[in-house]
Structure 1
Amino acid sequence: MHEGAELTLPPHSTRHIQVLRLQPGDGLTVFNGEGGEWDATVTRMGRQDVDLRIGAHQPGDCELACPVTIALGMPANERMDALVEKATELGVAAIQPLMCARSVLKLSGDRAEKRRAHWQAVAVAAAEQSGRTRVPTVAPILALDRWLADVGPTTGARHVLSFAADAAGPATLLQARGPVLLLSGPEGGLDPREEALARQAGFAPLSLGPRVLRADTAPLAALSLLGLAD
């Protein structure tokens, strides 16, 4: 994207502009997911598409000071959709869907890719709604064991949500000063073998308190705390 470029918006963005009842000549701002915004002007309103002329780039973003990746055992039904939406609004940088021993939702092949693409579209829409100029990446679905084997060394902190007696308290997240990789289990949590594997991969156990949170609530609670570390 560059100043002076002509752009045809995709269908989901077209619907948003139609709801706002914009007309040719009206101004708006757009983003391409790489940071900052662009001034733009509507040049044509079609029934199913809209053409824009791109203006000047406006730098700046509203990202978390600590980039956060959430790796989680996918909750079932509509809960994953809501989790992706809310995590995007709260500033997550990336989401890694996982299949775990206690996972209810099991996906593979074309079904897995279709769901991943659907969740990526949910993230795009949530970024637009919340004013973010960077869209979090929803990674391909993996089995937890394979992901842990391939995750490799990373900078920053690694935490696995846990009820273990040696788990650090939630205040730990308020002290984050670099990238954070957070692992959260599915309904029923990680089983003992999976948590042991996570610890071997460098994930420090972390508790969010004495209450049992749903699989789609726990990562959002942790992400909210990390937002306070800005």
Structure 2
Amino acid sequence: MSNLRFYSPVPLAIGNTTALSENAAAHAIRVMRLKAGDTLVLFSGDGFDYQCVLTDIGKKAAYVAVQSRTAVSNESPLNIRLLQGISSGDRMDYTIQKAVELGVTEIFPLTTDRSVTKLSGDRAEKRVEHWQGVAIAACEQSGRALLPLVHAPVTLTQWLGQHETQASLNILLNPVGAKRLAQLEQPSGHIHLLIGPEGGLSGNEITLATQHHFQSIVLGPRILRTETAAVTAIASMQTLWGDF
């Protein structure tokens, strides 16, 4: 996979000329020192890679001509939705980055009882924009051409009120869980993976999730950090049921 692969926030079409995003232009021109006539790949989240040629380079913008497209078929057979309790610092970035690399389809940041970081208003919007940027970069690196959406933060109660869980495989990571992943049957629909923040989910949240068809699963005898738990659980599911 070429390292010269960038996300386009606008739809792409063969024969059209389009401007690179600000970040893509900066990397292509200032870092990679590309010139007019050089080639690169763009994707816009529609499942295709678009082969492009740089046509015009200015001080603040760069333009490419779209020449052809190739279907990308590297999506996981599993439809994993990650419900992640918001963690602090770089932990949340790491979780989102690795979850996207491992094939999740959607990410729902949750404001939980024990979340250290509390987000609302403009701060929440800016953080979601940043997290979506992390997801975009992970797609650029991993070769994915479908972009997982990072949703605005909600509480677990709000999420459960907005989504149907009865027909899905709903997994709650719990250090005192009753089952292991290998004991579950291979899912045919959505997988909802619920993980708490640094301090874990509260007793009330665990009870609420259980009432909405979530099963407590343990990942082994050692207690994992929140960012380790997400990576371990998704990789394990890909090994058991997916494309690993």
TM range (shorter): over 0.9
Correspondence 1:61 to 2:73: yes
TM-score by length of 1: 0.93
State the AA in 1 paired with 2:209. Answer: A
Cα distance, 1:173–1:224 mapped onto 2, change above 3 Å: farther
Q: Structure 1 unaligned runs (5+)?
A: none
- Correspondence for 1:207: 218
RMSD, aligned α-carbons: 1.7
User: Within 5 A, what are the aligned runs for 1:174-185?
Assistant: 175-185=186-196
Q: Which runs of 4+ in 1 moved over 4 A?
A: none
Q: Structure 2 unaligned runs (5+)?
A: 1-11
State the AA in 2 paired with 1:223. Answer: I
State the AA in 1 paired with 2:27. Answer: H
Is this contact kept in 2: 1:120–1:138, CA < 8 A? yes
Cα distance, 1:155–1:54 mapped onto 2, change above 3 Å: farther
Among candidates 59, 62, 79, match of residue 50 of structure 1 = 62
Shift of 1:15: 2.1
- Correspondence for 2:138: 126
Is this contact kept in 2: 1:170–1:209, CA < 8 A? no
Shift of 1:91: 1.6
User: Within 5 A, what are the aligned runs for 1:77-226?
Assistant: 77-153=89-165, 155-165=167-177, 167-172=178-183, 175-226=186-237
Identity %, equivalent residues: 38
Cα distance, 1:10–1:110 mapped onto 2, change above 3 Å: same
- Correspondence for 1:23: 35
**Separation in structure 2 between the aligned mates of residue 125 and residue 57 of structure 1, nearest angstrom:** 20
Shift of 1:60: 2.2
**Separation in structure 2 between the aligned mates of residue 103 and residue 197 of structure 1, nearest angstrom:** 17
State the AA in 2 paired with 1:164. Answer: V
State the AA in 2 paired with 1:10. Answer: S
State the AA in 2 paired with 1:21. Answer: R
**Separation in structure 2 between the aligned mates of residue 35 and residue 160 of structure 1, nearest angstrom:** 30
State the AA in 2 paired with 1:211. Answer: R
SS across alignment from 1:121: helix
Correspondence 1:36 to 2:45: no
**Separation in structure 2 between the aligned mates of residue 124 and residue 50 of structure 1, nearest angstrom:** 19
Is this contact kept in 2: 1:33–1:134, CA < 8 A? yes
**Separation in structure 2 between the aligned mates of residue 61 and residue 48 of structure 1, nearest angstrom:** 34
State the AA in 2 paired with 1:203. Answer: F
Is this contact kept in 2: 1:100–1:185, CA < 8 A? yes
Shift of 1:20: 2.2
State the AA in 1 paired with 2:206. Answer: E
Is this contact kept in 1: 2:49–2:145, CA < 8 A? yes
**Separation in structure 2 between the aligned mates of residue 214 and residue 43 of structure 1, nearest angstrom:** 47
Measured against aligned partners, the alpha-carbon deviations of 1:131-174 in whole angstroms (never above 9, x if no partner) come to 11111110000112211222224654111111335x22032479
Measured against aligned partners, the alpha-carbon deviations of 1:58-87 in whole angstroms (never above 9, x if no partner) come to 112311110211001111112111211121
**Separation in structure 2 between the aligned mates of residue 93 and residue 174 of structure 1, nearest angstrom:** 20
TM-score by length of 2: 0.88
Is this contact kept in 2: 1:24–1:41, CA < 8 A? yes
Shift of 1:206: 1.2
